[in-house]
Amino acid sequence: MEITKNVQDNTATLFLAGRLDTMTAPELERELQDILPNAKDLVLDFEQLEYISSAGLRVLLSAQKIMSKQGRMRITHVNETIMEIFEVTGFVDILTIE
């Protein structure tokens, strides 16, 4: 998986590409650990993301919980496959998907 980030002050945008699964989720978790403490507005761009597993969902859940307290987190350009996963798992209810 490839992660490209664009951080300006307390606004951060992460572009994810590839698969977000058990193997790659820790990578995103490390990135978020760096960004989250100062972030007010976090955007995750899923345009290039192909798949997300339960491990990936867990990282999103953690980030969502933190961002709910200090600002907001948005997920953009979600494709059909991932949207279906969000729907099946009920994550559509807690995530802000644009």
Distances in Å between the Cα of 41 and the Cα atoms of 18, 32, 46, 53, 89 are 23, 12, 16, 24, 24
Q: Which C-beta is closer to other proteins: that of 9 or that of 93?
A: 93
- 67 vs 41: CA distance, rounded Å: 8
Tell me the closest approach of the beta carbon of residue 37 to other proteins, in angstroms: 17
Q: Does 8 bind other proteins (CB under 8 A)?
A: no
Q: Does 89 bind other proteins (CB under 8 A)?
A: yes
Q: Does 90 bind other proteins (CB under 8 A)?
A: yes
Task: Give every CB contact of residue 3 below 8 A, 6+ residues apart in sequence.
Answer: 14, 15, 16, 17, 27, 28, 31
Tell me the closest approach of the beta carbon of residue 63 to other proteins, in angstroms: 10
User: What H or E segment, with its residue span, contains residue 7?
Assistant: strand 2-8
Q: Does 37 bind other proteins (CB under 8 A)?
A: no
Which residues sit at the interface with other proteins, rule CB under 8 A?
22, 54-55, 57-58, 61-62, 65, 87-91, 93-94
